[in-house]
Structure 1
């Protein structure tokens, strides 16, 4: 599985610019889907037909990552930028970034006179080696992703875009292992999640599922002075109960717990005080859907070293397969 993870997490694909990601994922899933389509938003949708009358289930994992967009270029050829999604200024200084054409730039900031403070985004810039606005190869509106190699330390896996390429890996692996399902399952590799779960909203409005399951990362609470949350790396997949955007369907939470216990899959219960996932958009689309989320515990979310545990990834795949391969009664 690590080869697939490496391929996806190192790829370029900020929100709104997911074309390269879609081209990487499609060959991985083609032989496991009955049909594949791309909607007007750019969501990649793989349909796996059920063996009998079951429910319509939408499984969503977002392809996009946080990034930057060039807002203007100085007379000296330095590129000022704004954010695409949730960017923390204190993670930026010295980072290397990549444009859609593969060009690399370096993030620096204006002079810091008080080393106890961090400049905001507006005081940072990207150096692409230009000496003037005229010879700058980058244009206003160009999108930027971060550059960081995938790293494996025992079972700790780190990369700049585990959020949510690791969810895409879980979906792909589940498609491979799901031999039969009673349900019509639509695996949606969604766009623009980091800027408001927009792709999933469009897909859910079109598909109108009975059940929706998002695959995404959640915070780990096992580091010094973390955000308080009862989630540890390596202790199991996480079943979302609530986040700041939704309360998961209680029947679906109960079913996820039941399937995990029956299959002896270790799990944790997630109550997240900030942030949400594609499940929120699925839950309120059209007349509504029974929606929940399988979450992969992750340290250092929205940095260039997001870190997950291989066992949690594997157990997330197992839980999704257990849910989809059997009747869903809520």
Structure 2
């Protein structure tokens, strides 16, 4: 940016001359390019707490860190991932395998992971601090996850006992996630701190359940309702016999959770599958629907044989076939 400012000032002071001259090593260039090569960019005066923002330099108020935000506000994105920036630096996080269908790539600023999975929070190398602490923010409340002074064992809070692992070499933190761990996190040292990192924790989806009539009379209407017991689904879709099912005049999808079949026909018989998904998981279940004509339906019949007294023996069931000879059993 400073060098561009020098070029701009030279353009205003010296008109562009098209004659070709020798400059430095003897290469043929214009007089303006020769002047640019021989001119050193001026150095900027030292200003306290500079922050690069939108290709401009603005001062940071004293006593604040990049990523600090008002109580309850969302965290700010990291401008320079993995590097220090005026007492503040940007860490990163990633979900460790295995973890359902969660994205396992490292992320900066925010990460989506799942309950029961392990997340690793990492930071760049510190500049000589001898004591650090991992902290979290929830609303306006800030709490310490663990504190660590070099050559001493880390002190872990009760909330993260037996599920937080601290690496004393690189100061990274691994946490086995629970419900409610979706918060802002950061590492603080004596004179420096990371930007707040936003961790979103979702619950993996359980196998959905389909509720509806499995036996439907031809010409009638029926519906199948797909419910998820655990977790919150972001998307629903239906398949019939393994193929994606699209809506039509007779097949209607109500908020994707309910499948309505109007004037059912024999061709509507088959296996219907409800598929649900969110950012970390996907699950499905199938349902057999049979459409019949009333004359062809076969209903089950229950026959009960009751033996009274102390009669001992073997009971045998026979079926007599009609339209056959009398001796056929």
TM range (shorter): under 0.3
Structure 1 length-normalised TM: 0.22
Structure with bigger helix share is 1
Structure 2 length-normalised TM: 0.22
Higher relative contact order (CA 8 A, sep 6+): 1
Over alpha carbons, which structure has the higher Rg?
Answer: 2
Structure with bigger strand share is 2
